[in-house]
Amino acid sequence: MSIPSGVNTSIILRLELDKELASFGNIATAISDAGGDIIAIDVVRTDKNLTVRDITINVYDNKHTELITAAIHTLAGVKVVHVSDQTFLLHLGGKIETSPKYPIKNRDDLSRVYTPGVAKVCMAIHEKPSLAHTLTIKRNTVAVISDGTAVLGLGNIGPEAAMPVMEGKAMLFKQLAGVDAFPICLATQDTDEIVSIVKALSPTFGGINLEDIAAPRCFEIEQRLIEELDIPVFHDDQHGTAVVLLAGLYNAVKLVNKRLEDCKVVLCGIGAAGTACTKMLMAAGVTNIIGVDRQGAITKDGNYDNPFWRWYAECTNPEQLRGTLSDVIEGADIFIGVSGPGILKKEDVAKMAQDAIVFAMANPTPEILPEEAEPYVRVMATGRSDYPNQINNVLCFPGLFRGLLDCRASRVTENMKLAAAKAIASVVEEDELNEYYIIPSVFNQSVVEKVREAVIQAAYEDGVARRRREKVQT
């Protein structure tokens, strides 16, 4: 087996070594020859004959782990007790918890936070429901809701399997923007039922972040909830992705000296993210967009049951290009992938226009890996954190909801999305802009603040903010 390349992850190998037979030098050599990078060694226990050690090793993937363990199995006096993956270890028991804001130390405290004191707060809210925003967690809490039908690019893997992603989103909400977020995965894929469950849950929350719900149901679910609820509802895979995509493209075209409006854009994966990205590009003035899905380019004479694809066919592909991705990509300035793993071949990238821009955003495996596309592209981005230029909706949703909650907005507007895209792009200064830095890092603290401010400004301009302007800190 050859040594694979790609993403790093780390594993811990627990080894039992026979002191007579095993040599640590041989173990280190075997790991290193198999391409593993030892980053820590811990002694777990030792006695006269045996020693047990945990070796933390950076590896590329599962195959690489197998390669390293196979190499160790050949060494005399060494037993592999178990192999644990750091990523799994971080998920033990889930990634978030709830905790009280202050302790209940005595009966007096108890009588205020609970019966009888709490009753007067309940009655105050009963008399004036808007007080829920002031006196309950509604003020700062968002529901992250999924039905598990389009989890990353893994497809319809169900609600339990969707939880780690939703917990991850909740962590990011809190860490990046101080927003309390709660993951809720639903055991139904029925549109009416999802709408009615989310409506029934809404009194607890100041906002609803819909996540990883497949197209076309996600469009109807979001639209109905927007109409029926008085708190903002935002489908992250549609609009969060579109906002960050546009931010990245503003900077990428600046770098290659092209006008976005003049670019030929090929977009693959006309689902939740692809549809919203297309609409956002159109709002930014792009006219030459060709959408491709499993059966090839979407054209006016195509026979589609999906009403959103009918819309797509009418409004895109001005030259009515037809055929496969490979057929229509010739001469494209920009490729956007929100589809599935490995569908863009390096030969396709080679056919693109000069200074090609490739945003391969499918997660966890992009449409093409940067190392494959590299020789033919000028600007390359993926949705992942382990390559430069991470185009991921995490650059949008924390700051967006921070802004929405702070000004108590009733909905998300188109202006907010455009303003958020410009805000994200603006974090990269002119003199910093280069092929490997077109979009700020998730950890750049200005991102949340700039997005928040842009959203609040737009909320007041659009008349959807419900807090008095002077009460909102800027």
Residue 168 CB-density burial (10 A; 0-12 exposed, 13-18 middle, 19+ buried) = middle
Question: Please, how many CA atoms are within 13 Å of residue 421, restricted to the half-sphere of its CB?
Answer: 23
* Contact flag: residue 399 with ligand NAD (CB under 6 A): no
400 binds ligand NAD (CB under 6 A): no
Instruction: Please identify, using beta-carbon distances, which residue of 237 and 406 lies nearer to Mg ion.
Output: 237
Instruction: Single out the residue of 157, 150, 272 nearest to residue 215, CA to CA.
Output: 272
Interface segment toward ligand NAD; rule CB under 6 A; list 41-49, 258-266, 347-355, 390-398: 390-398
Q: How far is the CB of 348 from ligand LMR (least distance, A)?
A: 22
Evaluate whether 351 touches 343 at the Cβ level (below 8 Å).
no
Determine the residue with CB nearest ligand LMR.
363
Backbone dihedral region for residue 463 (phi beyond 0: left; psi -120 to 50: alpha; all else: beta): left
226 binds, among ligand NAD, Mg ion, ligand LMR, none (CB under 5 to 8 A by kind): none
For residue 265, the partner it binds in Mg ion, ligand LMR, ligand NAD, none, with Cβ less than 5 to 8 A by kind, is none
User: Which is closer to ligand NAD, CB of 11 or CB of 172?
Assistant: 172
Backbone angles phi, psi at 84, to 5 degrees: -120, 150
CB of 437 to ligand NAD, least distance (A): 17
CA dihedral 385, 389, 393, 399 (to 10 degrees): 100
CB of 360 to ligand NAD, least distance (A): 9
Question: Considering only residues 189-228, where is the footprint of Mg ion by CB under 5 A?
Answer: 212
Closest C-alpha among 401, 400, 399, 371 to residue 384: 371
Nearer to ligand NAD by C-beta: 141 or 382? 382
Tell me the per-residue interface mask from 221 to 250 with ligand NAD, x by CB under 6 A, - otherwise. ----------------x---x---------
Q: Which is nearer to Mg ion, 67 or 208 (CB)?
A: 208
At residue 312, the 3 state secondary structure works out as: helix
Written as six digits, the tokens of 175 are 């860490």
> In angstroms, rounded to a whole number, what is the distance separating the alpha carbons of residues 397 and 65?
35
- For residue 252, the minimal CB distance to ligand LMR (Å) is 19
Ranges within 140-199 binding ligand NAD (CB under 6 A):
150, 152-153
104 CB-near residues (< 8 Å, 6+ apart): 110, 113, 114
Token pair 């002191």 in the structure block, residue: 19
Which partner from the list ligand LMR, ligand NAD, Mg ion, none does 215 bind, CB cut-off 5 to 8 Å by kind?
A: ligand NAD
Taking CB under 5 A as the criterion, the residue among 147, 237, 348, 406 binding Mg ion is 237
CB of 57 or CB of 268, closer to ligand NAD = 268
Instruction: State yes or no: residue 293 binds ligand NAD (CB under 6 A).
Output: yes
Count the neighbouring beta carbons within 10 Å of the beta carbon of residue 203.
12
Our answer to whether residue 169 is catalytic in this structure is: yes
Q: Which helix (H) or strand (E) holds 458?
A: helix 446-461
Q: Alpha-carbon torsion 368, 371, 372, 373, what sign?
A: positive
| Position among 393, 440, 448, 450 found at the interface with ligand NAD (CB under 6 A) | 393
246 binds, among ligand LMR, ligand NAD, Mg ion, none (CB under 5 to 8 A by kind): none
Q: Which amino acid, 111?
A: S
Q: How far is the CB of 165 from Mg ion (least distance, A)?
A: 7
For residue 276, what is the enclosing H or E element? helix 272-283
Size of the site for ligand NAD (CB under 6 A): 27
Per CB under 6 A, the list member of 7, 83, 171, 214 interacting with ligand NAD is 214
Strand partners, 409: 465
Nearer Cβ to ligand LMR, position 151 or 419?
A: 151
**Which one from 63, 95, 102, 114 is the annotated catalytic residue?**
114
Residue with the CB atom nearest ligand NAD in the bound state? 271
Binding site for ligand LMR (CB under 6 A): 152, 165, 212, 236-237, 363, 383, 392-393
Cβ atoms within 10 Å of 288's Cβ, excluding its own: 19
471: tokens are 């009460």
* φ, ψ for residue 115, nearest 5 deg: -65, 140
Angle (CA) 140-141-144 rounded to 5° is: 150
- Asked if residue 336 lies in contact with residue 359, where contact means CB atoms within 8 angstroms, the answer is yes
Beta carbon of residue 173, minimum distance to ligand LMR (angstroms, whole number): 13
Cβ at position 151, least distance to Mg ion in Å: 7
Residue 208 · residue 232 · CB < 8 Å: yes
Q: Is the dihedral of CA 453, 455, 461, 465 positive or negative?
A: negative
CB of 267 to ligand NAD, least distance (A): 10
- Closest approach, Cβ 160 to Mg ion, in A, equals 17
Which one, 316 or 390, has the nearer CB to ligand LMR? 390
Question: Which of 138, 169, 279, 450 does the annotation list as catalytic?
Answer: 169
Sites for ligand NAD among residues 322-361 (CB under 6 A): 338-340, 343, 361
Q: Give the integer Cα–Cα distance in Å for 105 and 298.
A: 64
Interatomic CA distance for residues 142 and 429, integer angstroms: 32
The contact set with Mg ion (CB under 5 A) reads: 212, 237
The set of catalytic residues is 114, 169
The contact set with ligand NAD (CB under 6 A) reads: 150, 152-153, 214-215, 237, 241, 268-274, 293-294, 338-340, 343, 361-363, 383, 391-393
